[in-house]
Every structure is written in C-alpha cells, then in structure tokens.
Amino acid sequence: MDRPTFVYVTYIATSLEQLWDALTSEAFTQQYWGEGQLQSDWQVGATIQHINPDGEPNWQGEVLQSEPPHRLAYSFQPLDATENQPSHVQFELQQYGTLVKLTLIHNRLDAQSCLTISRKWTASLSHLKHLLEIADGLALVA
C-alpha cells in the first residue's frame, strides 16, 4: 500500500538566496517554526534536529540533499515514533522573476501523520512567506 505524500506549493516575493537562508538559518527557523528551531550544518549526511524551547530535540533526521539555493532534502523521524521508517522532506526552490516558487514534498507518511503534518507545514510556510514578504525580509537580519 502506498504511503501518503503531502505537497505544498507557494510563491514568495524574495530571492533564492534569502529563501535558502530562511530555510537553513537556526535563528530564522525559530521565527516561523513556532516553538523551537532547526539545527544542522546542512551538509549531506549531517544530522538535523528540531530543538524545542526547553532545549530538547523532538525529531531528527539526516540531510539527504543540499544543493544551495535550489534543493534541500532530509529524513524526518519523531523521537517518540513507534515506527522505524522515517519520512522524507524535500524543498525545491525555483526563481520566477521577482518570485521564488517553493515546493515542499513530504512523503512516506502514515495517514494520521499526513493530516497532522499538513496542518503544521501549511501554518509554518504561510508564516515564512509573511516574514519574507510583509516584513520585507528584515527578520533575516534580526
């Protein structure tokens, strides 16, 4: 049986480099991930972790692809998961004039995770778009 995939596409008025920095900067991820931040050196094979405000990780993975500023992919495994098969997250960035098309693909999910993850991704990426457009990217230097 095929496992569900969540796909989200948005267009953001920013540059490829600013969006890449927003996806990979620890300080900036904290602004749109809600609670916590992502930590990694973003090299293929490196560990990626989501660190809660209390300093504890709640999920981790491995960087599978890192092609700045066009493609980033990593595995995703909640630390409390009973299943030992991580899902995969992939970001694809394409410049379209003054806009960047951001495509998120999160696959290898179970049905319940897909519902929960889709809500979290939609909120996080909407907030990311707001920070880069409405706030005019000023949050990147904060």
Domain limits of the chain?
6-141
Closest among 1, 2, 11, 27 to 92, alpha carbons compared: 11
> Residue 28 belongs to what H/E stretch?
helix 26-32
Q: Which two three-digit tokens encode residue 10? A: 């948005």
Q: How far is CA 2 from the centre of its chain?
A: 23
> Is domain 6-141 given the CATH code 3.30.530.20 in the classification?
yes
pLDDT in tens, 39-76: 999 999 999 999 998 999 999 999 999 999 999 999 99
Rounded Cα–Cα distance for residues 8 and 136 (Å): 22
pLDDT in tens, 5-30: 999 999 999 999 999 999 999 988 88
What is the arrangement of strands in the sheet containing 87-96, beginning at the earlier edge strand? Answer: 6-12, 99-107, 87-96, 71-78, 57-67, 47-51, 37-39
pTM for the structure as a whole:
0.90
